[in-house]
Amino acid sequence: MSPARRALIAITSAHAPLYPEGKETGLFITEALHPFEVFRKAGFEVDLVSETGTYQPDWLSQQKDWLNDKDRAVWEDHSSEFRSKLDNLLKPSDIDPEKYGLFFASAGHASLIDYPDAKGLQAIASKIFTSGGIVSAVCHGGAIFPGVIDPSTNKSIIDSRRVTGFTTRGEEEENVLDTIKSWNRPTIEASAASCGATYVSPPGPWDAFTITDGRVVTGANPASAHVTAEAAVTAFDKL
């Protein structure tokens, strides 16, 4: 029996100062919005969940360079399906993993803070994977993988797989590497290595780039959210 055509998008609950003047990171809006739209267009039911049922938007992701007029209209419309579900986020205790065939970890730098310890989200992703579904992540969403365990190996589901995610070079270009270190969190490259995965860098830190390795689909950065979601749908349709 094939997994249900239903997708669950994970949202970071964390927020912390990252940008000039103490502006905070949180959910990078398009990294959830673009996959949401891809999945809905592909005929999936889509739900949004965070570890605590709360979220805060990333400051940078609301700026014009990162949120175009079309996306902003959806984001600012509290009656839109996407914003309505964000405004009424689910918690892991609300979720039955058996009802989903695809898990997608959206991101924002804040994901580095809560995803490594997000036991509820990790358990859901593990169960979806174990049941034969797709597990996907974009940008810093890969911070969730150390705790997403394949019970048949007792290792991360990305062990011995090829994955991508936000580059350490990109952290350096944004001048945020020291802040990440102050959070006592590894970069995505370091996190992937700790799981036994092979990290594959995109051509450039901001280029759209995605990798599919079996039932694990990863993307590199905000520009990759759309193509990563499309690749996740392609992988799902091959199940």
- Are the C-beta atoms of 130 and 150 separated by less than 8 Å? yes
What are 186-233's pLDDT values in tens digits?
Answer: 999 999 999 999 999 999 899 999 999 999 999 999 999 999 999 999
pTM (predicted TM-score): 0.98
- Are the C-beta atoms of 200 and 211 separated by less than 8 Å? yes
Q: Is the pLDDT of residue 2 over 90?
A: no
Q: What is the DSSP string of 92-161?
A: GGG--GGG-SEEEE---TTHHHHGGG-HHHHHHHHHHHHTT-EEEEEGGGGGGGGG-EETTTTEETTTT-
- Count up the domains in the chain and report the number: 1
- Are the C-beta atoms of 63 and 23 separated by less than 8 Å? no
Residue 88 belongs to domain with CATH number: 3.40.50.880
What are 68-105's pLDDT values in tens digits?
Answer: 999 999 999 999 999 999 999 999 999 999 999 999 99
Give the residue numbers spanning the domain of 82: 4-235
Rounded to the nearest integer, the mean pLDDT of the chain is 97
* CA separation for the pair 65, 81 (Å, rounded): 24
Q: Which residues are catalytic?
A: 139-140, 171
